[in-house]
């Protein structure tokens, strides 16, 4: 709406007083939204007569989970269960040479909580998360430069779609440095100075930014859960190995969402959860991953689904 008011309203004879905007004008909207969602989840658990136990997972066994209770520091509660479903999600993929401080070098979480619109924003990674957030800050006035290691943006988008998408973003003022990698970052000054070079090697150059968004992907959040001690097997990427019923190498332990192989998408994780519980209830739960849609959200939504032609 801010972008439309700033750039499009005048063409329709609409005058807008003042030109301010950005994070200061959000008035806590993000916090209210997250708080409302949190309360909604809690209400749903209570409605289904479930019990919420908050705290870090401190391990357990095939039929029990030990939780270090947040509301009772130092106290650990052990919960017994016939079956356990691991749905721990994912975390930001670290990138060597870029130390995230959530102030000048930020993850997707920090990018949602900036105090001001950066004049220059560099997005490291041309996937969906980086382009979505870059588009948000670009519409608020930031000069956005995307540094991508591959020769195209959009990750697993179809080639024709992502080329058209890149042209749309370039019309919005985006700059792209494709087939380029970040070597190091210096955040000792008021901003950040990135050192970049061609992906295949070559002359290094420097790139200045007020804020750098690290959006090079996500990794499954499966470390420190005591899975190895419980006998739950993981693959080389840290994902829990499951069968077509979402059952792990331990018959009573199941896993869904970002913790298992497959696209890291919220709607895919939701379908995993439904199918997993249906199987536990003796029904037939199944997810057709070939038809899981992808979606990039900006002023216009760019959806894609099914298999890419280049596959």
Structure-token pair, residue 12: 């329709």
Q: Give the CA radius of gyration of the chain.
A: 22
C-alpha span between 45 and 54 (Å, rounded): 13
C-alpha span between 180 and 150 (Å, rounded): 7
pLDDT tens digits for range 236-254: 999 999 999 999 999 999 9
Category of 59 on φ-ψ map: left (φ > 0), alpha (ψ -120 to 50) or beta: left
The pTM of the whole model exceeds 0.85: no
In this structure, the strands spanning 205-209 and 192-198 are antiparallel
| Separation of CA 117 from chain center | 21
pLDDT tens digits for range 196-223: 999 999 999 999 999 999 999 999 999 9
Question: Rounded to the nearest 10 degrees, how much is the dihedral formed by the CA atoms of 107, 108, 110, 116?
Answer: 120
DSSP reduced 3-state for 6 = helix
C-alpha span between 221 and 214 (Å, rounded): 18
């Amino acid at each position: 709406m801010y972008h439309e008011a700033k750039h499009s309203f005048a063409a329709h004879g609409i005058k807008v007083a003042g030109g301010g905007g950005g994070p200061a004008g959000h008035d806590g909207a993000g916090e209210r939204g997250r708080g409302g969602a949190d309360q909604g989840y809690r209400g749903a658990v209570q409605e289904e007569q479930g019990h919420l136990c908050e705290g870090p997972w401190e391990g357990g066994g095939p039929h029990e989970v030990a939780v270090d209770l947040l509301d009772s520091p130092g106290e650990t509660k052990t919960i017994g269960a016939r079956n356990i479903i691991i749905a721990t999600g994912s975390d930001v993929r670290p990138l060597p040479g870029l130390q995230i401080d959530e102030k000048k070098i930020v993850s997707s979480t920090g990018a949602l909580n900036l105090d001001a619109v950066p004049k220059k924003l560099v997005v490291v990674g041309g996937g969906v998360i980086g382009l979505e957030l870059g588009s948000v800050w670009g519409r608020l006035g930031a000069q956005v430069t995307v540094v991508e290691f591959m020769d195209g943006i959009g990750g697993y988008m179809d080639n024709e779609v992502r080329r058209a998408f890149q042209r749309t973003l370039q019309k919005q003022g985006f700059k792209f440095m494709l087939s380029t990698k970040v070597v190091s970052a210096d955040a000792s000054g008021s901003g950040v100075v990135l050192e970049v070079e061609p992906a295949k090697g070559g002359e290094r150059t420097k790139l200045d930014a007020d804020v750098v968004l690290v959006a090079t992907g996500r990794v499954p959040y499966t470390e420190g859960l005591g899975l190895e001690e419980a006998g739950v097997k993981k693959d080389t990427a840290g994902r829990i190995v499951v069968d077509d019923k979402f059952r792990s190498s331990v018959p009573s332990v199941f896993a869904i969402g970002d913790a298992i192989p497959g696209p890291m998408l919220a709607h895919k994780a939701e379908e995993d959860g439904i199918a997993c519980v249906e199987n536990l209830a003796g029904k037939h739960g199944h997810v057709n991953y070939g038809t899981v849609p992808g979606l990039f959200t900006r002023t216009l939504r760019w959806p894609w689904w099914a298999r890419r032609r280049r596959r």
